[in-house]
Structure 1
C-alpha cells in the first residue's frame, strides 16, 4: 500500500511543449533531479477563491502582506486567474534514470489566454520554469 503525502513546495521544472501541452520532462525538488518517465494524467483544478488573502482583506478579516511575496517576489494585490485555477500533471518519475519510481502531482498556475490544451505552437526543445509546485507524492 502506498502512502500519499501532500506538499506545497516550489519546484523547478523542465518541460517540453512539442505536443502543445507543456508536459514536464524533469524537475528539481529539494535539490534532487527527477526524470519524468511518463505523464499519467492531466487536469485543471479550481481553488477555493474565498480563502484567498485578498478576499479576507476586502472583508476586513485580515490585512494583506505589504512585504515581499514568496521567493522574494513582490507581493500581489487582488486575485488573478492563476490564483483561481491551476493545471496539474500526475507523473511517474524517479531520481535519475535508475532510481525507484514514484507518482508526483506537479501544478502550475493557469495564465490568461491558456486553453485547456495549450495553443502554443510546439517546438522540440525543452524549456524551464520555476512557477510550478509539487502538490502530492505517492510512493
Structure 2
C-alpha cells in the first residue's frame, strides 16, 4: 500500500524490480539536503507494481523507489518515493 495525492493505493501485483543508480549530475547540481534529511545515496531499488485506489477503480502501473537509510542510522527506515506512473 502507498498514499498518493491523499488517496490510498493497494498493490495488486509486483511486476518487476531492479537497481538504479542516481545519475551523477543530480548529485552535483542539487543543493545540500535540509538539516535532518537523509542525503540521497548512489543506488536505490525500484519496484514496478500494479496498483489501484479501490476495488471499483482500474489498476495502473507505478514505479516505487526504495532508498535505504545510511549504514549507521539504525533507527531510520527506508524512504519510498513514487518515481513513475503509467496509466
TM-score in terms of structure 2 length? 0.75
- Whose radius of gyration is greater, 1 or 2? 1
* More RCO (CA 8 Å, sep 6+): 1
Work out the CA distance in 2 between the residues paired with 1:108 and 1:32.
20
Q: How does 1:35-50 map to 2 (within 5 A)?
A: 35-50=10-25
**2:41 match: secondary structure:** helix
Work out the CA distance in 2 between the residues paired with 1:32 and 1:51.
29
Q: Equivalent residue for 1:110?
A: 68
Q: Which runs of 5+ in 2 are unaligned?
A: 72-76
Q: Equivalent residue for 1:137?
A: 85
Work out the CA distance in 1 between the residues paired with 2:54 and 2:78.
20
String of CA shifts for 1:45-74, please: whole Å, max 9, x gaps. 01123431xx56xxxxx8x54xx72xxx62
Query: How big is the alpha-carbon RMSD for the aligned residues of Structure 1 and Structure 2?
Result: 2.7
String of CA shifts for 1:20-60, please: whole Å, max 9, x gaps. xxxxxx111110000111000000001123431xx56xxxx
Q: Which runs of 5+ in 1 are unaligned?
A: 1-25, 57-61, 114-128
Counterpart among 29, 32, 45 of residue 7 in structure 2: 32
- The alignment of Structure 1 onto Structure 2 pairs a total of residues equal to 82
Query: After the TM superposition, which segments of 4 or more aligned residues of structure 1 sit over 2 Å from their partners?
Result: 110-113
String of CA shifts for 1:83-107, please: whole Å, max 9, x gaps. 1000000000001222111000000
